[in-house]
Amino acid sequence: MIDPHHRIDNRQGGTIRAMFDRISPRYDLLNRILSAGLDIRWRRRAVDLLGDLRGRTALDLCCGSGDFMAIMHHKYGSDVKLIGIDFARRMLDVAVRRLAAVKSSLILCQGDALTLPCRDGTVDAVTIGFGIRNIADKATALREILRVLRPGGRLVIVEPAIPRNRLWRALFSFYFGTVMPLVGGIISGDRGAYRYLHDSVATFPDPDEFVALMGSAGFARASAIPQMLSTAMIYFAEKA
């Protein structure tokens, strides 16, 4: 399932990886505060879209501190095998501590989304929470996910989205551009990191474009499901 000879290219994404390493101690707290806890609700809805994962293998890509894996373990216990991959070592350290009780059905490893350390067709489901916008080459990452999925396997991605409604878009821009960097900077001590997060949302493809990108990568049934007045999207797709 996991290629034991895989090596991460530490030259890739070094600046962004260092940023996530810096904010890792406060990452979970800030997610809950800045989303008013809605991020967990969206992740749970995304997991529900994956179907019954008992006896299956799920890969949490850009897993961070392990939110998606914690939800899947809470729902299925050791009946689901979990693989968590992230490029930031200190984020993985947080996940190791958080998921210490899941050892028997969990693999955590540092890896690159563009060259996943998984063999072809060995994963039943892939989750990504607030992570794909940090990958520069999204098309290659999507093709890699398709490669490791079994036929019929499902992908769910949760990401913020810029609302189309003019009023909500203005409020969203103010919150992400002003409030989030201020609060994030005070709590984490790294205002620049939360300014980057605003910029990464602003430059992410709009939902229609990203759905088309998933289709171009080879996925079937690609769709975007709006959350909270379209301030976030759950992206869904399958491998035919």
Q: Provide the CATH number for the domain around residue 101.
A: 3.40.50.150
- Range of lowest pLDDT (66-80, 114-128, 196-210, 224-238): 196-210
Give the whole-angstrom CA distance, residue 27 versus residue 184.
9
Give the whole-angstrom CA distance, residue 152 versus residue 146.
10
Q: What is the pLDDT of residues 13-35, one digit of tens each?
A: 678 888 888 888 877 877 887 78
Q: Is residue 57 part of a domain?
A: yes
| pLDDT of 4 strictly over 80 | no
Q: Is residue 210 part of a domain?
A: yes
Q: Is residue 130 part of a domain?
A: yes
Length of the chain: 240
Q: Is residue 214 part of a domain?
A: yes
- Range of lowest pLDDT (31-35, 42-46, 82-86): 31-35
Q: Residues with Cβ < 8 Å from 140, sequence gap 6 or more?
A: 114
Mean pLDDT of 99-105: 83
Q: Is residue 172 part of a domain?
A: no
Q: Is residue 166 part of a domain?
A: no
CB 100 within 8 A of CB 125: no
Domain of 70, in residue numbers: 37-160+203-238
| pLDDT of 52 strictly over 50 | yes
Q: What is the pTM of this model?
A: 0.91
Q: Is residue 13 part of a domain?
A: no
Hey, what amino acid is at 238? E
Check residue 17 and give its pLDDT.
Answer: 85
Q: Is residue 181 part of a domain?
A: no
The total domain count for the chain is: 1
